[in-house]
A and B are shown apart, each in its own frame.
Chain A
């Protein structure tokens, strides 16, 4: 797919332009402008009223109170309460839409680390915010109050150096354990796939029946042989190209990543997997899927649910639509699917490749010839 075709595809999926929509935005926008003006006006009225009050108090010979200080101090305690309520509400509503259930073996380790981190940072967040806003409220300035001269306390400062250090050591260690687990070399029995990113699609090659991928070389890349597979390699003869990635459940799968033009990033959120695809530098990531697509559809109660591999590294204008579906199935379904696939190397293809290579060589010659003329 070229740039233009992807973009036009994306735009074709959108409804046609309507003026109604912009009118709607206009209304909401001006509604908020009016709301803001009203708020500013209300604030100004309160402001003037307070000033008048202060002046009358002054006229009556009473001591001037610092009204603004009190108002802002009270605002801080109100803000604290609203903020904590908001955080709790978001946790309840968006929390369910956030992290999807993990569908890979190491995903459980990642999620465990997520939980530990969320709890620790959550506690620190709540305590520090209560202190920050409560202090702001409690110690709001008064004529009668004297600030307490307190310049340092070495012991106290030592405590809050050591305690965070210990807590962080826990996080570093549990993170290190998870990370070494995830980045360990793939098991030998893993299914190996070759995934190449290009603007703006993924090219996925299966090893075929021999479970061995044919080698590839960048010099062999042309418009027909998109990843430069070396067809002189015996292993390449039965390799498959697919439009959807089928994975057998509970069998480790190892991805060999590469990119053809710019950096892409293969991101599979449900499997807690991500690896950059870099031109000229092979990278790899492996995991073991544990839940089939069918099971996940039941679990999420969403008959349209699909696992995805999407591009997470900005790669051009259609970056937002560079995806490929992943289907996790059981062993028999996988075998049936595999049987329907024919190797992409055929006699005809060999011919096409030769033609393409010849035309590239010719173009090069012409270019060279042109250079010598100059």
Chain B
């Protein structure tokens, strides 16, 4: 064994730069993604707290805001244009930089080679490139917040003509240029990553690791990568056309426009709705790009900590597949009130509500996995159970929004905010937390503090429901999204106290996330050292690697796989690792 280690080190004379900065080790790249994602998440969260202050106390002035934001909060009151910018950048950062790159980037990079039994990704260089494109995208996105005319302020969906016309809003000037450059870099990053994930899963599985022996995390990450590779180019093309409209005078999205103070524009014949089709052709699969990795990790964690196999392994793969297919066929449900042909609307209603079937299968299978288990409440397990709860709550309101007749009333209201924050925002974040708590020991060879983990979970789940549940009612009352101030509206004044309450809860939840960050960074350096190679008694391959695996993951031969990854409690044995050959007298599952 020591022979192999020395042999291994000879080949990799690692400097600080090659080990920590331009690393080609998938584990280091995963950590880079995770840390960058965490930094972006903190920024996104701070933005949300700032605009929650505006929503909670619209009539009041806070001198500290002027100190913090300068000209954007003169007299301690947030400027309406900057409020819109904060909402926009919060959305962009959270959807793309945290829940796409931060989530998939971290766990696809970390888990795929370790769980399929590969030394590294199919192309470690492309993998490194993928991270650095993401890094560049993050830097450009953050720098857009400091330009004179302010960051882009038309919402994370960036619908033209608002996003195409610099004269229509100050945020659509330089801020939008940087936004779109950042997004273009981001698309490149996610394509490089996605191709790598697919290639690794299909080609680099170890001996015996057939597709039906893959852990569900890998299946979920596989479908995620396929979704990304097929849909991000469409978004990219949409952005290219937008750049042409902005900078080269074309009229893909523009027609018959007269801007206040500027006059009539010469553009003719374009369609503003075309952009929405291109955007949502990514935008809807994007929701599943965010959700599927969380689903995969939750399936894994629920099974491990219930000490039972995941119920209906094949059905779980089938439902992931169904969701992936349907994800491409429902984009227009974001566009029911754009003047879409009503018949087409009905088709999209049918396809949208169909997604509820595979989702229901997943939920019932998770519930059955818990049933008659021997549940071990690690913090990861708590977050996995929390994920299921949030997925149910948010998924059910999706049935409201997916029905076009109801969407007429609910479209672009707080009901939508409540729905997607619960089902895609908080739920995926819970998936990410579950993943971090579960694989932290593998990542850093240390353990996180459990007590802080428990506090983190209970405050966060209670906070998430206290924040987003009442928003359903605000949406039903007709409160539109992206409004700077509701206190000037007679009909929305009744929610003043509620908005204040929501803002306060969001601050508490924010502080608990800081507690988590403390736990995370403290434990990296000072956490309890891992002594057991397999701390969770799990069956999958990553726990057969050394506690602190080097580049190449396994010393010596890559282990061979003999069974599926869910032999928990079989024949009275607590768990049987995937590497254990099938015994002669073993029962079939």
Contacts of A232 in B (CB 8 A): none
The answer to whether B473 touches A320, judged by C-beta atoms less than 8 angstroms apart, is: no
Contact A132 B480 (CB under 8 A): no
Q: Which of A36, A125, A276, A306 contacts B393 (CB 8 A)?
A: A125
Query: If the complex has contacts A199-B168, A267-B412, are A94 and B260 also in contact, measured as CB distance less than 8 A?
Result: no
* Bitwise interface map of B from 339 to 366 toward A, beta carbon under 8 Å scored 1, else 0: 1001001100110011011001101110
Report the bound CA distance from A26 to B83 in whole Å: 21
Against B, the Cβ 8 Å flags (1 = close, 0 = not) of A102-120 are: 0000000110011001101
B477 touches A99 (CB 8 A): yes
Contact in complex: B374, A150 (CB < 8 Å): no
Q: Which of B62, B269, B374 has the most CB of A within 10 A?
A: B374
- State whether A117 touches B258 (Cβ < 8 A): no
* Shortest Cβ distance from A136 into B: residue: B385
In the complex, the answer to whether A269 meets B80 with C-beta atoms within 8 Å is no
Bound CA–CA A49/B473 (angstroms)? 42
Bound-state Cα–Cα, A40 to B453, Å: 11
Taking a contact as CB atoms under 8 Å apart, the answer to whether B307 and A147 are in contact is yes
Judge if B233 is at the interface, Cβ distance under 8 Å: no
Which residue of A25, A183, A281 is within 8 Å of B53 (Cβ)? A25
Cα–Cα distance between A241 and B258 once the two chains are bound (Å):
19
Whether A314 contacts B392 in the complex (CB less than 8 A), given A90-B473, A149-B568, comes out as no
Q: Nearest-CB distance from A268 to chain B (Å)?
A: 9
A337 in the interface (beta carbon within 8 A): no
Contact, CB under 8 Å: B80 / A10: yes
Which residues of A have CB within 8 Å of B376? 69, 141
Among A28, A121, A139, A222, the residue within 8 A (CB) of B370 is: A139
Q: How far is the CB of A229 from chain B (nearest CB, A)?
A: 13
Q: Does B258 contact A182, Cβ atoms closer than 8 Å?
A: no
Least distance between A290 CB and chain B CB atoms (Å): 16
Q: Tell whether, in the assembled complex, residue A18 and residue B60 are in contact, meaning their CB atoms are under 8 Å apart.
A: yes
Q: Are A317 and B271 in contact (CB under 8 A)?
A: no
Chain A residue with minimal CB distance to B570?
Answer: A149
Q: Given the known inter-chain contacts A18-B60, A148-B372, A269-B478, please indicate yes or no for A278 contacting B367, CB distance below 8 A.
A: no
Contact call B80/A175, Cβ cutoff below 8 A: no
Q: Mark each residue of chain B from 383 to 407: 1 if its CB lies under 8 Å from any CB of chain A, else 0.
A: 0010011001100110110011110
Residues from chain A with a CB closer than 8 A to the CB of B458 are: 75, 79
Residue in B269, B396, B477 whose CB lies within 8 Å of A100: B477
Residues of A within 8 Å of B469, CB to CB, are 86-87, 90
Residues of B near A90 (CB, < 8 A) are 469-470, 473
Contact across chains for A22 and B477 when beta carbons are under 8 A apart = no
Majority secondary structure, A binding face: helix
Confirm or deny: A142 has a beta carbon within 8 angstroms of a beta carbon on chain B: yes
Proximity string of chain A (291-302) to chain B, C-beta cutoff 8 Å, 1 when within and 0 when not: 000000000000
B314→A152 contact, CB < 8 A: yes
Q: Mark A22-40, 1 if CB is under 8 A from B, else 0.
A: 1011001100110010011
A272 near B: Cβ within 8 Å?
yes
Q: Which of B155-205 contact A (CB under 8 A)?
A: 155, 159, 161-162, 165, 168-170
In the complex, whether B508 has a CB less than 8 A from a CB of chain A is yes
- The listed residue with most A CB atoms (<10 A of its CB), out of B307, B478, B489, is B478
> Which residue of chain B is the closest to A175 with respect to CB atoms?
B403
CB distance from B313 to the nearest CB of A (A): 7
Find B365's partner among A157, A165, A272, A280 (CB 8 Å cutoff). Answer: A157
Among the listed B269, B480, B491, which residue makes an inter-chain contact with A267, where contact means beta carbons less than 8 Å apart? B480
Q: Known: A175-B405, A281-B273, A317-B84. Contact between A263 and B392, CB under 8 A? A: no
The answer to the question of B69 belonging to the interface, with a C-beta cut-off of 8 Å to chain A, is: no
A278 and B338: CB pair below 8 A?
yes
Q: In whole angstroms, how far apart are the Cα atoms of A149 and B369 in the complex?
A: 10
Give complex CA distance A265, B273 in Å.
13
Interface string of B232-274 (1 = CB under 8 A from A): 0000000000000000000000111111110110001111110
**Contact partners of A222 in chain B: CB under 8 A:** 263-264
Chain B, interface size category, equals: 35 or more
A260 at the interface (CB under 8 A from B): yes
- Knowing A69-B375, A274-B409, A280-B270 touch, does A160 contact B393 (C-beta < 8 A)? no
Complex CA–CA separation, A168 to B356 (angstroms): 8
The count of residues in chain A whose C-beta lies closer than 8 Å to any C-beta of chain B is 133
Return A116 CB to nearest CB of chain B, in Å.
10
Cβ B308 vs Cβ A317 within 8 A: no
Interface presence of A44 (CB below 8 A): yes
Instruction: Decide: A149 and B480 in contact? CB cutoff 8 A.
Output: no
Interface residues of A in 234-292 (CB under 8 A from B): 260-263, 265, 267, 269-270, 272-276, 278-281, 283-284
Give the residues from 484 to 504 in chain B that come closer than 8 angstroms, CB to CB, to chain A: 484-491, 494-495, 498, 504
Distance in angstroms from B357 CB to nearest chain A CB is 5
Judge whether A3 is part of the interface by a CB distance below 8 angstroms.
Answer: yes
Is the pair B589, A151 in contact by a Cβ cutoff of 8 Å?
A: yes
Residue in contact with A149 in the complex, picked from B459, B488, B504, B569, CB distance below 8 Å = B569
Closest Cβ–Cβ distance, residue A199 to chain B (whole Å): 6
CA distance A283 to B377 in the complex (A): 54
Task: Report which of B372, B459, B484 forms a contact with A150, defined as CB distance below 8 A.
Answer: B372
Contacts A176-B349, A278-B338; is A308 near B491 (CB within 8 Å)? yes
Instruction: Decide if A95 is an interface residue (CB 8 Å cutoff).
Output: yes
In contact, A132 and B570 (Cβ under 8 angstroms): no
Instruction: Select which of A141, A150, A179 is within 8 A of B368 by beta carbon.
Output: A150
B208 lies within 8 A of chain A by Cβ? no
Closest chain A residue to B363, Cβ basis: A128
Instruction: Please state if B361 and A161 are interface contacts (CB–CB under 8 Å).
Output: yes
Given A19-B63, A151-B309, A314-B162, check contact A171 B353 (CB 8 Å).
yes
Residue of A nearest to B347 (CB): A176
Query: Could you say which of A128, A136, A168, A313 contacts B392, with CB atoms under 8 Å apart?
Result: A128
A157 contacts B58, C-beta separation under 8 Å: no
Check if B328 is an interface residue, CB within 8 A of chain A: no
Among A13, A17, A33, A109, the residue within 8 A (CB) of B77 is A17
With A86-B465, A97-B473: A139-B478 Cβ-Cβ less than 8 Å: no
Type the 1/0 row for B142-155, where 1 means its CB is closer than 8 Å to any CB of A: 00000000000111
Please give me the residue from chain A that is nearest to B167 by CB atom.
A261
Distance between Cα atoms of A273 and B337 in the complex (Å): 9
- Are A94 and B261 CB-contacts (below 8 A) given A164-B360, A262-B168, A317-B84? no
**Residues in A neighbouring B271, C-beta threshold 8 A:** 280-281
Q: Which residues of chain A have C-beta atoms less than 8 A from B261's C-beta?
A: 2
A190 within 8 A of partner (CB): no
Tell me if B476 is interfacial: C-beta within 8 Å of chain A. yes
| Cα distance A75–B486 in the bound complex, in angstroms | 37
Q: 1/0 contact trace for A312-326 toward B, CB 8 Å?
A: 111111111101000
Asked if A279 and B161 sit within 8 Å, CB to CB, the answer is yes
Check: A72 CB closer than 8 A to any chain B CB.
yes
B264 touches A281 (CB 8 A): no
> What are 30 pairs between A and B in contact, CB < 8 Å?
A15-B59, A19-B63, A28-B504, A36-B508, A36-B512, A72-B454, A98-B472, A100-B478, A113-B403, A129-B389, A132-B385, A139-B306, A150-B309, A150-B311, A151-B313, A151-B566, A164-B356, A175-B353, A176-B350, A222-B263, A262-B165, A276-B339, A279-B257, A280-B255, A281-B271, A316-B81, A316-B168, A317-B484, A319-B484, A320-B488
- If A182-B405, A219-B264, A314-B154 are given as contacts, then 15 extra A-B residue pairs at C-beta distance below 8 Å, sorted by A number, are A17-B75, A21-B60, A83-B465, A94-B470, A94-B498, A141-B377, A149-B308, A151-B566, A183-B342, A261-B165, A274-B412, A276-B338, A317-B81, A319-B484, A320-B486
Q: Which 4 A-B pairs have the closest CB atoms?
A: A269-B478, A280-B255, A17-B61, A21-B60
Interface residues of A (CB under 8 A from B): 2-3, 7, 10-11, 13-19, 21-22, 24-25, 28-29, 32-33, 36, 39-40, 43-44, 47, 68-69, 72-73, 75-76, 79, 83, 86-87, 90, 94-95, 97-100, 109-110, 113-114, 117-118, 120-121, 124-125, 128-129, 131-133, 135-136, 139-142, 145-153, 156-157, 160-161, 164-165, 168, 171-172, 175-176, 178-180, 182-183, 198-199, 218-219, 221-222, 260-263, 265, 267, 269-270, 272-276, 278-281, 283-284, 304-306, 308, 310-321, 323, 360, 363
